Structure 1
Amino acid sequence: MLNPQYQGKQWYLAYCKPKEEQRAKIHLDNQGIESYYPSVVVEKMRRGKRVSVEEPLFPGYLFVQADLEQISPVTLSSTRGISKFIGSGRNHWYVIPQALIINMIRHEDSDEARELLNQQPKPGQKVEITEGPFQGIDAIYLEADGETRSMLFINMLEKQTPVSVDNQSLSFKS
């Protein structure tokens, strides 16, 4: 866990080389430098099955806590996996408010955050289509249709017909 009580330490934002956020974090840890790489668990379709996958909240970025009077900015910038630090100029990096980092840490592992991210209807649950050509029609959730769409049954001419609808066009019913 991160220790935000250090007086001279500030949080900075590092831009990492493509897909090397985890590598940069490991190399910073090896140097005794604290870093924070927020991630979220999301549900995705893999080989036709819905699986939970951990993904970065900010792909390509890593928060680094350091005292620039004790650790050279050159040392931080040359850490494997880090491309550059975000700021204006070579040695003037933007300071990230500590309260923002602490707030992200608090909410990252909360049940509330997990529930919001994984809010998916269960098969057989009633939903309402709120946009598009089927707007206002009640339907029954069947299954996910990729990452952004859902398969639903709607009543059309006294017959249940499957349709694929954008997830943003759905409202869940209890």
Structure 2
Amino acid sequence: MNWYVVYTKPKWEKKVAEKLNQIGIECYCPLITQIKEWSDRKKKVEVPLFNSYVFVQLADKERNSVFQIAGVVRYLFWLGKPAVVRDEEINIIKMSLKAENISDISVTSIQVGDRIKLETGAFSNQSAIVQEVSNTHYILVLESLGCVLKIKYK
């Protein structure tokens, strides 16, 4: 069975994942813990790593069953076909989220266009291309995961 990417309504990722599990569809909604700050307090909250995306694993002929869940909008397509995510990529995401905090990463002499390999943190062992370098952050393109990573530093 393949992993597919389901596009959800904004802020519905956790609800959709819960409902998919209830009807017996295996799904994965990677969550990260962030500290949200309001005027009167700070609180740790779990937010989806990928906004509006939930990964589902099911047979091709069963793909329409996800649309019985409120909040599911459509499948993510790539080159005219539903995007398929390999088991290896799902496992990389799972392992990356179990990794230590990335606050201890130190980077020196990196320039735009350099290809680097992240050695620690949530995306360890991932290859990336440096897209932007500024005084406060780096922007890296993780081709294997199809995403852009912004790393802030002090």
TM-score normalized with structure 1 length: 0.55
Query: 1:28-63 CA deviation, whole Å, 9 max, x = no partner?
Result: 112211100001112232224443221111111101
Structure-2 residue corresponding to 1:33 = 25
Structure-1 residue corresponding to 2:84 = 95
Q: 1:28 to 1:49 in 2, by over 3 A?
A: same
Q: Would the aligned equivalents of 2:14 and 2:48 in 1 still touch at CA under 8 Å?
A: no
Structure-2 residue corresponding to 1:116 = 102
1:86 matched to 2:76? The reply is yes
Unaligned runs of 5+ in 2: 106-133, 137-151
1:77 matched to 2:70? The reply is no
Task: Give matches, 1:2-151, under 5 Å.
Answer: 9-69=1-61, 71=62, 73-87=63-77, 92-110=81-99, 112=100, 115-116=101-102, 131=135
Task: Give matches, 1:149-164, under 5 Å.
Answer: none
Give the number of aligned pairs: 112
2-side partners of 1:39 and 1:118: how far apart? 21
Unaligned runs of 5+ in 1: 1-8, 120-129, 133-167
% identical equivalent positions = 24
Structure-2 residue corresponding to 1:6 = none
Amino acid at match of 1:34: E
Query: 1:62-83 CA deviation, whole Å, 9 max, x = no partner?
Result: 01111123x2x22223422210
CA RMSD of aligned residues (A): 3.0
2-side partners of 1:15 and 1:62: how far apart? 7
Q: Would the aligned equivalents of 2:3 and 2:84 in 1 still touch at CA under 8 Å?
A: yes
Q: State the secondary structure of the residue aligned to 1:54.
A: strand
Q: State the secondary structure of the residue aligned to 2:4.
A: strand
1-side partners of 2:54 and 2:79: how far apart? 19
2-side partners of 1:84 and 1:17: how far apart? 9
Amino acid at match of 1:104: I
Q: Aligned-pair distance for 1:131?
A: 4.7
Amino acid at match of 2:98: D
TM-score normalized with structure 2 length: 0.61
